[in-house]
Amino acid sequence: MKRAWTKNELALLKKRYKEKGAKYVAKKTGHPFTSVIAKANSLGIKSAFVKRWSQFEVNYLLKNYSSKPVDSIARSLKRSVQSVNNKARQLDIFKPKPKTWSEEELKLLRELWVDKQYSIDEVAAKLGKTRAATHYHAWHMGLRRPQVWKFWNKEEVSYLKKNYKKKTYQEIAKDLGMTRIAVFQKARKMGLRLRGKPQPWTKEHDDYIRANYKKIPTREIAEKLGRSMDSVINRAGPLGISDKTWRYKAKK
């Protein structure tokens, strides 16, 4: 039950809120921070401590709200979680706090997170969660992803030399227990390049890049689409989501 404001507390609010801010009044009166702000708003009292949102902060929030935890965004912008959520409501992008993870979901996360055959996006998809929420829970539980990059031994190098013209990089990766991008990059370093017919870009590929570019590592996008990182980066330009395009839009 909310505690009523006393005359002395109201006097302190009216005298100090504009000069000292909500945190000061909350500490002195024992009322919650949000309660202080609500009471001040109801009395029409404005504080000089209210920090206006810059266009950069608004752009950052719009870009990251759906993919990053709110507390992470708050730390990046040096704002409170409440401030971020309030601004999200104003921008009509607010999402209520997700439901608590069930024991079955946590158990499945433990099993999938340490299995290198599943990418982070695939783990999130199987759990029906966002990538950010999945990553946060795994970190909070102390789970660690298996090492993807490793030194190649002589047998693996020999297998690659023998089969790079016979099998696809995906097939070789599966045989060696590696990722396709790891095989591709090793082959490129060794000069084992194939000049095959260029793979056409499909609408599904373009949509995937638009949805995930700058939200997940480019390496993961390339691996998911079976392409090189350079290919994905070059494709981002015509799609209007390259670094230069994003900076131009942010300045606007």
Rounded distance, CA 3 to CA 231, Å? 60
* pLDDT value for 148: 53
pLDDT, one tens digit per residue, over 94-113 is 877 666 788 888 899 998 88
Rounded distance, CA 170 to CA 209, Å? 20
Q: Collapsing DSSP states into helix, strand and coil, what is residue 194?
A: coil
Rounded distance, CA 55 to CA 58, Å? 5
- The pTM for the full model equals 0.29
Give whole-number Cα distances, 32 to 23, 27, 114, in Å.
Answer: 9, 8, 41
Rounded distance, CA 250 to CA 64, Å? 13
* pLDDT value for 158: 92
* pLDDT value for 248: 39
Residue type, 146: P
Listed as ranges, residues in the chain with pLDDT below 50 are 244-252
* pLDDT value for 152: 84
Residue type, 10: L
* pLDDT value for 2: 67
Rounded distance, CA 58 to CA 56, Å? 5
Q: Collapsing DSSP states into helix, strand and coil, what is residue 2?
A: coil
Furthest CA-CA distance within the chain: 85
Rounded distance, CA 168 to CA 12, Å? 73
Rounded distance, CA 124 to CA 118, Å? 10
Q: 160, 190 in Cβ contact below 8 A?
A: yes
Provide φ and ψ at 100, rounded to 5°.
-65, 140
Rounded distance, CA 107 to CA 111, Å? 6
Give whole-number Cα distances, 135 to 90, 145, 174, 213, in Å.
Answer: 27, 10, 25, 17
- 161's enclosing H/E stretch is helix 154-163
* pLDDT value for 42: 83
Rounded distance, CA 192 to CA 152, Å? 15
